Structure 1
């Protein structure tokens, strides 16, 4: 007898729907990306599958799929200009184009190798004049986080700060300019430090990738930055009637970084971002860290244990090299 059945799989930004029945799968499927819903009219032959590419402004989203009475839900990082879903077709024409491009690239690589072999005897580190080397060093700008990732794409260790504005809806509804300006000035300062801020509703996610050898460890940078954000928000709350209710969480883990069209795109690995968000949800006007962060900063911070594998950050032993943040911010 006919059986109509399907399975759903989410691989990063790709939704895969497989027909596991013995008849063609024809259904209207509702796909939710965050708060926005998209409708797909799906037709999949027996034993086949359909793939769909998901797009959204950079950030982590909850993806929900509803097909009849069955539901499927996962979270993943997406990129794009706007929320959209496009079917990925793998026809023979695309395969031929892919093969042709592979041949062209192989030829170009071979030409580069031949050219390199011809010019290699003419240059060596031993024959570089001193004035040339000095000129190179002087013209090399100081590395920031973005340039470091562009040079080392791939799996990178990151410190993740999650700032949870718990009454963000109230601030937006009342349109309190003082609160909004305070938050925007914080984010602007963070962006000027070369860091990315991802807007995920009430959660503001700040990523600090592993820096070069000459810069501070990302965990210490994250702890100092989080402490400074807390102090700025506390300072604001002392002087204004509408309080900004917040919680800050810090986690460390790994993400996949790659450069696309000149921009750095991060893909979450495991629960790196989710864990930071959970900590900020638990925090109440505090900076909460987990065991991984605590062990990385052992001896450099003062904390209070407030639960299983959770610590509240009280102070940082040496903040001299980071102390200009609040002064610059409050003097604006």
Structure 2
């Protein structure tokens, strides 16, 4: 061994002896600590102490945190012989009395004499984690809001504590409510105020844990958002006058208010009712719009009322039509004309001045009655003045003739009315005589027609027997040739005379008559009257109870629509075909002036895919109208629109009744009026429908519309759905 090797061994032996003298004991942590502990919880620190020589001292445990503080929380005397070991289980309770304000990342230091042990870093937290949900996001005033969720400490242990709910509008507190958290779960209810404003609100949630002394140990916050709906609560009617006279204009304003008194824009009806509650005028207008109604001339004094109906609310306000005296006086050609245009009988005395002489004239006139008086005076020019008791009505110079100054009633006036009445009676008698003559001629024609028909029938029978006598009857029936031709009836139930003769030549009379009777019966079954009766007509109501349903509305605009329905034209036949198409698709129709609405509701169609049914129906109607315009000289200028609507529907006594909850029908009218022989889709139609069609997007008069060019080819899934739907409709 070299000299250098001996030196190294010597130094190592010296170091080993020094180290054994320095390390006399060893501290061992038996379990690893968790990463996070919440305030109020305890930390168990299982330790094992081994000594290499006889050791006595104090085992001390200290909490050391990032803020530099060191807190002793455990001391215990230790006395062990060489090679002996012991196990200890100190506990650190994380309460303010022990750890103070220390939080964050910390370590525990265990030491005895000069030996010590540092644990891994862990976190002391006072944070609570809240997870919460609402059963829905939109609420009405006064409705209960159910809030549920869980609260856990950051160390994943469930909370047994409390939670506060504060509803705020920005920084303004609306309401506050507290509840408990049991084993980490909570389920609470808060009730919204009846007068809460319609807008978005935030609910702030604060969960916390307290000790017996009331000191908060752990705390956590979260928030939720909800929207409050604008609900109609009150309706008011404002009139420009509570008392009004004939020929004056009544201005009506109806305002709809929500739960906070703010106005709501909505579509509703205003009706003007007479004293017997008969509707004089009814119009559909928006709230805050003015409706003007001019009181008719000579309208009798009475108490009328205005009724406003919006969104299921109704308000009635009364007004009075006052008594009015309105006398019209004219002077022409020595004649005084007086007419009562007031709304009450006129029974007063008029004062007249003819030159220097004063006269009094008693006038008695019913409403609308006129009288004329003859003014006479010695020949000359006179200044004629007439007074009604208030102001001078007329002042005129007239040339008069006569023996004396006087005013007398002209009786020829009443005789003229008698003559007019007599002439009217004579005119009515002449009309009645002509009607009776016309009916008599009609009966004679009908009788002659029946006699001719009977004679023709006898002649047919005679020809039949002559025909059968020539050959054996049974053999002739077997060999009878029956021509297979369809007797098509177009716009008339008459059969071509030439065709009748040909059928008689080849077909025995019994077969011919049976065939004709069958075809006439089939024609009657598909006549225009039956087609219109089979269509499902709907009735619109302003107030109807039921569940709202998403429906599809086709709107067809044709000018003078009601006239064409009652006329016998090619347009009338085309309109009936449209109703027949809607009936097959389980749609109902509603007519409003120039607009025909086809409504496809789940209540009738038994499906929620009504937009797709309405889209196919609309294209079929578009093709039908275009075909009509190609074939007939009488063209149809039309517009078609498709829109979605939320309506309440019910079927009462086999009548489809509905109430519209939005402005979709007004919007449908607007879009169809923008159409020029086109099929327009509204912006509200969902993307699924738009993806099924080829269209161009346009903006017309500020409205976004989609002009349908064609429907895309249906995939297998869509075809199967339509086949199943049509099969189900046929079965029902």
Q: Which of the five TM-score ranges fits, normalised by the shorter chain?
A: 0.5 to 0.7
Q: What are the Cα deviations for residues 131-185 of structure 1, in whole angstroms up to 9, with x where unaligned?
A: xxxxxxxxxxxxxxx9xxxxx9411111111000136478579x45111111112
**Is 2:658 the counterpart of 1:266?**
yes
Contact 1:77–1:267, Cα closer than 8 Å, also in 2: no
Unaligned runs of 5+ in 2: 1-231, 253-269, 296-305, 318-537, 539-544, 724-732
Residues 76 and 54 (structure 1 numbering): CA distance in 2 closer, same or farther, change over 3 Å? farther
* Alpha-carbon spacing, 1:322–1:163, altered in 2? closer, same or farther (3 Å): farther
Structure number with the bigger relative contact order (C-alpha 8 A, sep ≥ 6) is: 1
554, 562, 566: which one pairs with 1:161? 554
Q: Tell me what 2:284 maps to.
A: 62
Structure 2 length normalisation: TM-score? 0.26
* Structure-2 residue corresponding to 1:40: 273
- Alpha-carbon distance in structure 2 between the residues aligned to 1:204 and 1:217: 21
Report if aligned partners of 1:163, 1:246 keep a CA contact under 8 Å in 2.
yes
Q: CA deviation at 1:211?
A: 6.5
Q: CA deviation at 1:191?
A: 2.6
Residue of structure 2 in register with 1:227 after alignment: 619
Q: CA deviation at 1:233?
A: 0.7
**CA-to-aligned-CA distance 1:244-285 (integer Å, 9 cap, x gap):** 111101110211223444433111112111111111100111
Over 3 Å counting, the alpha-carbon distance change for 1:73 and 1:166 in structure 2 is farther
- Summarize the Cα distance change of 1:215–1:269 in structure 2 as closer, same or farther, 3 Å threshold: closer
**Structure 2 match to 1:238:** 630
Inter-partner Cα distance in structure 2 for 1:55 and 1:190 = 35
Deviation at 1:200, TM superposition (A): 0.8
Whether the aligned pair in 2 keeps the contact of 1:164 and 1:204 (CA below 8 Å) is yes
**How far is 1:20 from its partner?**
10
User: 2:658 is paired with a residue of what secondary structure?
Assistant: strand
* Alpha-carbon offset, residue 77 of structure 1: 10
In the alignment, the residues of structure 1 paired with residue 597 and residue 280 of structure 2 have an alpha-carbon distance, to the nearest angstrom, of: 19
> Does the C-alpha gap of structure 1 residues 155 and 185 become closer, same or farther in structure 2, counting only changes over 3 Å?
same
| Structure 1, 225-234 or 248-257: larger mean CA deviation | 248-257
Q: Distance in 1 between matches of 2:590 and 2:280?
A: 15
Q: How far apart are residue 195 of structure 1 and its match?
A: 1.6
**Cα distance change on mapping 1:61 and 1:226 into 2, 3 Å:** farther
1:73 and 1:303 mapped to 2: Cα distance?
44
RMSD: 4.9
Aligned partners of 1:208, 1:255: CA distance in 2, in Å?
Answer: 11
1:311-330 superposed matches below 5 A:
311-317=706-712, 318=714
Matched residue, 2:570? 178
Going from structure 1 to structure 2, the CA distance change for 1:212 and 1:242 (only over 3 Å counts) comes to: closer
Question: CA 1:172–1:262 in structure 2 vs 1: closer, same or farther (change >3 Å)?
Answer: closer
- Kept in 2, the 8 Å contact 1:61–1:76? The answer is no
Find the counterpart in structure 2 of residue 253 from structure 1: 645
Matches of residues 17-28 of structure 1 in structure 2 within 5 Å? 17=237, 25-26=242-243
| TM-fit CA distance, 1:66 | 3.8
Deviations 1:31-64 (A, max 9, x none): 9xxxxx9863469xxxxxxxx79799xxx96368
Change in CA separation of 1:170 and 1:154 when aligned onto 2, cut-off 3 Å: closer
Select the residue among 648, 666, 678 that pairs with 1:286: 678
Asked if the contact 2:550–2:644 (Cα under 8 Å) also holds between the matched residues in 1, the reply is: yes
Equivalents in 2 of 1:229, 1:74: separation in Å? 37
Once residues 184 and 73 of structure 1 are traced to their aligned partners in structure 2, the CA distance between those partners, rounded to angstroms, is 37
SS at match of 2:647: strand
Change (3 A) 1:164 1:322: farther
What SS does structure 1 have at the residue aligned with 2:691?
coil
Say if 1:62 and 1:75, in contact at 8 Å, map to a contact too: no
Distance change in 2, residues 1:249/1:265 (3 Å): same
Partner of 2:592: 200
Is residue 647–residue 659 contact of structure 2 (8 Å, CA) maintained in 1? yes
What's the counterpart of residue 297 of structure 1? 689
Contact 2:552 2:599 survives alignment (8 Å): yes
TM, length-normalised to structure 1: 0.53
- The verdict on how the C-alpha distance between 1:67 and 1:231 changes in structure 2, with shifts beyond 3 A counting, is closer
CA-CA distance at 1:188 after TM superposition: 2.8
- Distance in 1 between the 2:574 and 2:605 partners? 33
| Structure 2: distance between partners of 1:220 and 1:289 | 12
Moved more, 253-262 or 212-221: 212-221
Unaligned runs of 5+ in 1: 1-11, 32-36, 44-51, 79-86, 89-145, 147-151, 324-332
Distance 1:254 1:16, change over 3 A: same
CA distance in structure 1 between the aligned counterparts of 2:685 and 2:619, rounded to whole angstroms:
14
Q: Contact between 1:155 and 1:256, CA under 8 Å: does it hold in 2?
A: yes
SS in 1 for 2:574: helix
Across the two proteins, how many residue pairs are aligned to each other?
A: 222
Q: Which has the larger radius of gyration?
A: 2
- Give the distance between the partners of 2:673 and 2:272, measured in 1 at CA: 32
**C-alpha distance 234-201 of structure 1, shift in aligned 2 (>3 A):** same
Q: Which residue of 2 aligns with 1:141?
A: none
Q: Identify the structure with the greater helix proportion.
A: 1
